Structure 1
Amino acid sequence: MADLIAWVLVVAIAAYACAGGTDYGAGFWDLLAGGAERGKPVRRLIDHAMAPVWEVNNVWLIFVFIVMWTGFPTMFQAVFEAMWLPLALAAVGLVFRGAGFALRKPARRLARRRIAGVLFALASLVTPFFLGAVLGGIASGRVAVGTPASADAWANPTSVLTGLLAIASTAFLGAVFLSSDARRFGADDLVSYFRLRALLAFAAVVVLALIALPVTHGDARYVWEGLTTGWGLTMVILAALCGLATVLLLWRGSPHWSRWTAVGSVALTVGAWGMAQGPYLLPTSLTVTEAAGAAPTLNWLGIVTLIAIVLVGPALVVLYRLDTLGQLEPLTDADTRSAPAPGDDL
């Protein structure tokens, strides 16, 4: 049961990396959209694309933490003791990001919308970076039971590269999804706009991944060996193929199907990391079995997870499906033509 719950944790992390990562990527492109007038069409598209699902996407992060502290309390304690600062910064980013996104649209004064927009965009960089840095510190074996908090646990080469990869990957996901959103909303000029940015983000992911190869070879040797052999290598290759397929689909003007391949690329990468790290939760000091909670707790956690899949899963599928079809909040011609919003002249 402990191994099953560990894989539930990996799947939940993959789901958050894809769903929440798409939102972080949208925030990244919001930051680079330009001034108030030039960036208005981009930001309107981001608002309409994110509004129906951004709160739901954060449910995956909550589920990750629930599985961690319930199923693997020893790991949970060790990670939060050693990594409390980057996790706190990520949490602050989550708060400011949500507040900025929620408050900028109803704000009537341009100055207030700008402040809220900056909070949303900057926090969309801060949160994925520090979450990635935490994963990098864990993968490099710098976290063990009793490890005190220190900068080395998360400000090391593997952590920095993982944080940058998290930003680049979310930018890639966000651009792919927004290219598809632009087409279904009829904003044809933004289709090519985000297609180009998706290709640039993918190039950044490739460059960072190549830089990470020699760094992780020396700094996170156990995980590196897992990623270059067996099932870990197989999943890395599949993730790379999905990434290349995404590039090809975007190049040929098929943004709808590119969503699936982009999600597959990121999800397979997370799965490869889970494969490479096994049987450890904290390489190479704490195995899944050693970190697992009591057997009755794990059994109940498995039952609750199954109930959640049965009760919540269909609702999430319907929500994502309706959002993909553009039936939740249609974008009007006035929006895509950069029509002035209420309060623009204030």
Structure 2
Amino acid sequence: MELEIALANVLLIALTFYALLGGADFGAGVWHLLARGPTRRAQHQLIGEAIGPIWEANHVWLILIVTIVFTAFPEAYVHISTTLHIPLTILVIGIVLRGSAFAFRHYDIKDDDIHLRWDQLFAISSFISPFLLGMIIGAITTGHFPVNPASFFDGFIAPWLQPFPLGMGLLTLLLFSYLAATYLLVETRDPTLQKIFRKRAITAVLLAGILEEAVLYLGRSGAPRLWGELTTSLWGVFIQLGVGSLTIAAILLLLTQRYWWARTFAILQVTLTIWTWGIAQFPYLIPPNLTVFNTAAPEVTLHFIAGALLVGTLLLFPSLFYLFRIFKGNTLFRHKGHHG
């Protein structure tokens, strides 16, 4: 395998892990914002306890993505970081504010007004950040990156303020919320909370399924390459059937209270969705001209990056496994009873 392709695969793997881990954290923040009723405090407590031990480690995947694009595909990085600097800046601010608010709300006095403000900041940032992340991915998918824009709006706002990127933002928000709800179902044994998050998981996945088809249709004009790959190729049709089958299976598992397996199928569904997008995009980083080949750094640089990734992998995965084993061992690696 050529190094450019190998590093592109690493990018997709890192994006997948970020969605499954960091994305679920964002989704939990969305449910924190929407918590209502007499169980509101219990919902907040469950979300805080579920996120608390591991939330900061999840951003290692985002850092890895930025580092690989910057070093391995510098020309693509220049175009993305310049054209999309507004949503990227807001995304980074949102992530920082979310992390700060989560830490401060944990150590602040629980019943004062300031604690409520940290709660609100954490929840609102959790809502905005995944929406912007999806919007950025949608803008990259469209490839609408004008070289000599006629105005500031044309060059730096129009590329991401379009129907397809906006649809991708909403879809990302729903998928992350869906993941979070299925994860939280495994984190609690409280029947009332399980009923709440089961309903939310089913609602989120149904809305995501509808929105996926709507976004795909928007891609007909907004992202024609993606539309063509997923609607005119045999593999695209089979992949869509696969995603649909996983969705139906996850809903049935949720309805029958097999929460551990429902979470597993949710993970498979989101993973397949991400890789479908990645395969449909290949070899383009920014269509229709910038590919993993013509934007790649010199070969000697790619070899250094590959070596660093190999060493980093030997350190990263055992460390993460140990972290999750300590704090999530009861729910991550096994299931119990009819809730399995």
1:160 aligns with 2:166: yes
Counterpart of 1:136, as a letter, is: G
2:219 corresponds, among 216, 221, 230, to 216
- Name the residue aligned to 1:116: 118
- Residues 176 and 194 in structure 1, CA contact (< 8 A), matched pair in contact too: yes
- Name the residue aligned to 1:68: 69
Aligned partners of 2:67 and 2:146: how far apart in 1?
A: 20
Aligned partners of 2:176 and 2:40: how far apart in 1?
A: 20
- Name the residue aligned to 1:48: 49
> How far did 1:234 drift?
3.7
Counterpart of 1:262, as a letter, is: A
Percent identity (aligned):
33
- Name the residue aligned to 1:2: 4
| Secondary structure of the structure 2 residue equivalent to 1:211 | helix
How many residues matched?
A: 324
- Residues 101 and 116 in structure 1, CA contact (< 8 A), matched pair in contact too: yes
- Name the residue aligned to 1:294: 298
Q: TM-score, normalised by structure 1?
A: 0.89
- Name the residue aligned to 2:259: 255
Aligned partners of 2:292 and 2:63: how far apart in 1?
A: 21
1:135 corresponds, among 137, 158, 172, to 137
Structure 1: segments with no counterpart, 5+ residues: 329-346
**How has the CA–CA distance of structure 1 residues 322 and 188 changed in structure 2, closer, same or farther, with 3 Å as cutoff?**
farther
1:198 corresponds, among 198, 201, 225, to 201
> How far did 1:282 drift?
0.6
**How has the CA–CA distance of structure 1 residues 155 and 194 changed in structure 2, closer, same or farther, with 3 Å as cutoff?**
same
Aligned partners of 1:170 and 1:274: how far apart in 2?
A: 18
Listed one character per residue, the Cα deviations across residues 247-299 of structure 1 (whole Å, up to 9, x for unaligned) are 12111111112222111111111111110011111111111100111101111
Aligned partners of 1:44 and 1:246: how far apart in 2?
A: 26
- Residues 174 and 204 in structure 2, CA contact (< 8 A), matched pair in contact too: yes
Aligned 1:238-317 pairs, distance under 5 A: 238-317=242-321
1:181 aligns with 2:184: no
- Name the residue aligned to 1:339: none
| Secondary structure of the structure 2 residue equivalent to 1:293 | coil
Aligned partners of 1:257 and 1:157: how far apart in 2?
A: 35
- Residues 54 and 324 in structure 2, CA contact (< 8 A), matched pair in contact too: yes
| Secondary structure of the structure 2 residue equivalent to 1:52 | coil
- Name the residue aligned to 1:13: 15
> How far did 1:38 drift?
4.2
Counterpart of 1:163, as a letter, is: G
Counterpart of 2:226, as a letter, is: V
Tell me which stretches of 4 or more aligned residues in structure 1 moved more than 6 Å: 144-148
**How has the CA–CA distance of structure 1 residues 259 and 298 changed in structure 2, closer, same or farther, with 3 Å as cutoff?**
same
| Secondary structure of the structure 2 residue equivalent to 1:152 | coil
Aligned partners of 1:5 and 1:232: how far apart in 2?
A: 23
> How far did 1:207 drift?
1.7
Aligned partners of 1:246 and 1:303: how far apart in 2?
A: 39
Q: TM-score, normalised by structure 2?
A: 0.91
1:150 aligns with 2:156: yes
- Name the residue aligned to 1:226: 229
- Name the residue aligned to 2:336: none
Structure 2: segments with no counterpart, 5+ residues: 333-340
**How has the CA–CA distance of structure 1 residues 216 and 115 changed in structure 2, closer, same or farther, with 3 Å as cutoff?**
same
Listed one character per residue, the Cα deviations across residues 163-183 of structure 1 (whole Å, up to 9, x for unaligned) are 000110111001000111113
| Secondary structure of the structure 2 residue equivalent to 1:281 | strand
**How has the CA–CA distance of structure 1 residues 301 and 145 changed in structure 2, closer, same or farther, with 3 Å as cutoff?**
farther
- Residues 14 and 270 in structure 1, CA contact (< 8 A), matched pair in contact too: yes
**How has the CA–CA distance of structure 1 residues 145 and 293 changed in structure 2, closer, same or farther, with 3 Å as cutoff?**
farther
- Residues 231 and 275 in structure 1, CA contact (< 8 A), matched pair in contact too: no
**How has the CA–CA distance of structure 1 residues 327 and 177 changed in structure 2, closer, same or farther, with 3 Å as cutoff?**
closer
| Structural RMSD (CA) | 1.8
Aligned partners of 2:260 and 2:97: how far apart in 1?
A: 31
- Residues 171 and 201 in structure 1, CA contact (< 8 A), matched pair in contact too: yes
> How far did 1:320 drift?
2.4
- Name the residue aligned to 1:126: 128
Aligned partners of 1:291 and 1:234: how far apart in 2?
A: 31
| Secondary structure of the structure 2 residue equivalent to 1:105 | helix
- Residues 75 and 281 in structure 1, CA contact (< 8 A), matched pair in contact too: yes
- Residues 43 and 193 in structure 2, CA contact (< 8 A), matched pair in contact too: yes
- Residues 232 and 273 in structure 1, CA contact (< 8 A), matched pair in contact too: no
**How has the CA–CA distance of structure 1 residues 123 and 74 changed in structure 2, closer, same or farther, with 3 Å as cutoff?**
same
| Secondary structure of the structure 1 residue equivalent to 2:285 | strand
| Secondary structure of the structure 1 residue equivalent to 2:86 | helix
